[in-house]
Amino acid sequence: SLIYKIFILRDITEKVNAEKVIRQSEEKFRKIFENSLDGIYQSTLNGKYIDANNALVKMLGYSSREELISKDIRKDIYYSEKDRPQSNERGKLFKTRLKKKDGTIIWVEISPNVIHEGSEPAYYEGIVRNIDERIKSEEKIKYLSCHDYLTGAYNRYYFEEELKRLDSPRLYPISIIIIDINGFKMVNDTFGYKKGDEILKNTAKILKDYFRREDIVARYGGDEFIILLPSTSKTIATGIASRVNKAYE
């Protein structure tokens, strides 16, 4: 009888090369994932972490990756519901607030992307950058642009801009109260500027505590304060000024 041996030879070079490319790509991604200074994460569609790099663990103040991954992103990580990205923000860079383990709130930029398997969304992948210092610096600059650095009252520029903005019939009548401190120059000359600064700060505090939230209390210059009162008649403003004088006595 005849014995036949059939050999089937298949060139698998292409498959091996493809697997090598995939493996190299995965290794490259893992290096980026582990060494990035920005936080990188993968999460399920319903808000559970799949993975997170060390930068994100450190950024949020957790002691280990496992501890962070055990948290619910929606409940434990985002500061509030309105801080979570909406569906139309996926794939876009957006600014939001996150909670650290100790409860501290930090500002971050996140660029979340939906990763698909075939035509179906499978999970989220995103980059998180800590911008807390930048935001605080911007807020400080904004604050100083409209506040008096010594007293914390609004400054002259802000007062004049608000006066223009409030110049509307629906806010009439508008009243203005001007206050200056009797004997302020003598206090400065006798006791020094430190004592004078203390008086200015105390005056600003009394005024800010006394007036309504919608009123504008500003230091106009030197020892002069000015208060803008929308929707306030002259009669009412005169009564208020009298009561302020008594409160300051």
Q: What CA–CA distance (Å, rounded) separates 67 from 61?
A: 10
Residue 231, phi-psi category: left (phi > 0), alpha (psi -120 to 50), beta (remainder):
left
Which residue carries 């060139």 as its tokens? Answer: 11
Q: What CA–CA distance (Å, rounded) separates 65 from 59?
A: 11
Contact (CB, 8 A) for 229 and 174:
yes
Structure confidence by residue, pLDDT tens digits, 10-36: 665 666 555 665 665 666 667 777 889
Nearest CA to 54 among 71, 44, 68?
68
Contacts of 108 (CB under 8 A, 6+ apart): 39, 59, 95, 96, 97, 98, 128, 129, 130, 131, 132
Structure confidence by residue, pLDDT tens digits, 86-104: 765 556 788 999 999 999 9
pLDDT grade for 168, boundaries at 50, 70 and 90: confident
Q: What CA–CA distance (Å, rounded) separates 79 from 113?
A: 20
What domains can be seen in the chain, in order of their start residue? 13-132 (3.30.450.20), 147-248 (3.30.70.270)
pLDDT grade for 82, boundaries at 50, 70 and 90: confident
Residue 229 pLDDT exceeds 70: yes
Q: Is the peptide bond before 169 cis (omega within 30 degrees of 0)?
A: no
pLDDT grade for 196, boundaries at 50, 70 and 90: very high
Contact (CB, 8 A) for 115 and 90:
no
Of the listed ranges 142-151, 163-172, 221-230, the one predicted with least confidence: 163-172
Q: What is the mean pLDDT of residues 51-72?
A: 95
Question: What is the pLDDT, as a whole number, of residue 198?
Answer: 93
Q: What CA–CA distance (Å, rounded) separates 232 from 139?
A: 31
Distances (CA, A) of 136 to 108, 129, 133, 141, 241: 12, 15, 5, 9, 37
Which residue carries 């642009």 as its tokens? Answer: 145
Question: What is the pLDDT, as a whole number, of residue 118?
Answer: 85
Q: What is the mean pLDDT of residues 144-149?
A: 95
Strands 120-130 and 94-99 come out as unpaired
Tell me the pTM.
Answer: 0.71
